[in-house]
Structure 1
């Protein structure tokens, strides 16, 4: 079916007080699993491609975007295409040539005033082209290279460190100054967690929901237990980003197959169970929401 816009899916979820899941696409199998999982669950979903994934594909946004778009068009589930964690202005502008209806422009590592300036510029550019813009305030952390002070040699950023969580008053000022359509906030989750042990600050989520007029986004949801995600949505979270959980399922299935079949050289043999494992993971998160 035709692609649905991210803004439409997120706005509808926010109006209904429910969550909408966005899943990271790295390979074609990721996209196929997201579409299949959405069809199984009977609900919409968002396919998102990060700047890191584009780098993995040699900087070729068009190829992975075309693949994800083709999968979405062939699916019976309502699916949107989102470009995630973009720090490059060049990549932001490349989104206009593909099927992306939204971009997460990430200037969260910059000082506040500079973050506001470059994000407001991104929003103006996006809105002129009908592209919905998400941004981040606070530091979720956990991505490769995330350091406490932003420099190499410093310790990794801690999701529970003082000063990294999003301040509601600052968030309100930030949204007003930039005009963003959604805000990713730091409330205790962290990217790249392989164990679901994160504990979220639900009081802070509610304060942020009351402070800003746009939907809130939870990054690093792979490390958040089911009951914490349910509570986060009830407290005010709308867009729920999931990435590492798919990779954990994928890699676990590949490892198990190759352990049992060490002479296998045809990648299709182990990509079939890997894709099926990701499909089950997607359906599980969608059922949760």
Structure 2
């Protein structure tokens, strides 16, 4: 079926007070696993491709085309999102190829430059009915620009949204990228304040480091889009590691990738039914 606009998934979740879950595609197997979970649960989701993953594959188009094909061949309600992109040419190429949303990430730039660059690309994306997410400041774990104690300022966030016209804002409320343990404690009061102050949905990056109960509470406080990546890679590699340890003679990667893919499907389905239903 045709791709679902990211805006429709996020807006419906926001209206219902549930999470709009977005899962990162690392390679074909994780993409297949995520799509299978959406089909099994009947809950729509967003397939994401990050700049780090694009760099790993040596370019955007092969993985993007494969992810688009997975989404279009599925009966589930799926969207494809480009995450943490900074190259305008890459953003335009991804949108022209079929991505339905993009995170324009100029959070490393000084505030005024962030506003200018984000507003310019947001206007271009909106002409093509593409949903735009941005980030003010920087969520921890990507070079240390924001430590755990740093928080998004509501007044600055409102000014940024008004100046850029973005459709969603990633905020710093206590999570961090690349956490391997689910121990982050989020600032739910700040989430409520931001949700009430901003006219756009809030996005939580670094959700893999947040326990289910904490995620449920932050969604109830006003968070909408929940990005998950490291949790899936941990599940996938855990199965692969166990199988290789159990059978040192195993050489066919499919023998361990198939159960690893199934484990990721089960985890995505569990997260969807607990947070996105």
**Cα distance, 1:138 vs. partner?**
2.8
* Structure 2 partner of 1:243: 229
Most deviating of 12-21 and 184-193: 12-21
Alpha-carbon displacement from aligned partner over 1:127-181 (angstroms, at most 9, x marks no partner): 11211110011321213xx134xxxxxxxx5222xxx311001111100000000
**Cα distance, 1:40 vs. partner?**
2.2
**Cα distance, 1:47 vs. partner?**
0.2
Query: Which structure 2 residues correspond to residues 56-135 of structure 1 after superposition, within 5 A?
Result: 56-59=56-59, 61-135=60-134
**Cα distance, 1:213 vs. partner?**
0.1
Task: Give the match's secondary structure for 1:49.
Answer: strand
Query: Which structure 2 residues correspond to residues 253-272 of structure 1 after superposition, within 5 A?
Result: 253-272=239-258
The answer to whether the 8 A contact 1:102-1:132 is kept is: yes
Q: Does 1:208 align with 2:194?
A: yes
Q: Distance in 2 between matches of 1:78 and 1:272?
A: 24
Q: Distance in 2 between matches of 1:18 and 1:244?
A: 21
Structure 2: stretches of 5+ with no match in the other structure: none
**Cα distance, 1:85 vs. partner?**
0.6
The answer to whether the 8 A contact 1:139-1:165 is kept is: no
TM-score w.r.t. length of structure 2:
0.97
Q: Distance in 2 between matches of 1:36 and 1:74?
A: 11
Question: Which of 161, 183, 187 matches 1:197?
Answer: 183
User: What is the RMSD of the two structures over their aligned residues, measured on CA atoms?
Assistant: 1.0
Most deviating of 87-96 and 112-121: 87-96
The answer to whether the 8 A contact 1:138-1:165 is kept is: no
The answer to whether the 8 A contact 1:34-1:279 is kept is: yes
Q: Distance in 2 between matches of 1:147 and 1:208?
A: 23
Query: Which structure 2 residues correspond to residues 217-228 of structure 1 after superposition, within 5 A?
Result: 217-228=203-214
Structure 1: stretches of 5+ with no match in the other structure: 149-156
Q: Does 1:147 align with 2:144?
A: yes
Q: Count matched residues.
A: 275
The answer to whether the 8 A contact 1:25-1:48 is kept is: yes
Alpha-carbon displacement from aligned partner over 1:237-262 (angstroms, at most 9, x marks no partner): 11000000010001101000101111
Structure 1 runs (4+) deviating above 4 angstroms are: none
* Structure 2 partner of 1:279: 265
The answer to whether the 8 A contact 2:95-2:101 is kept is: no
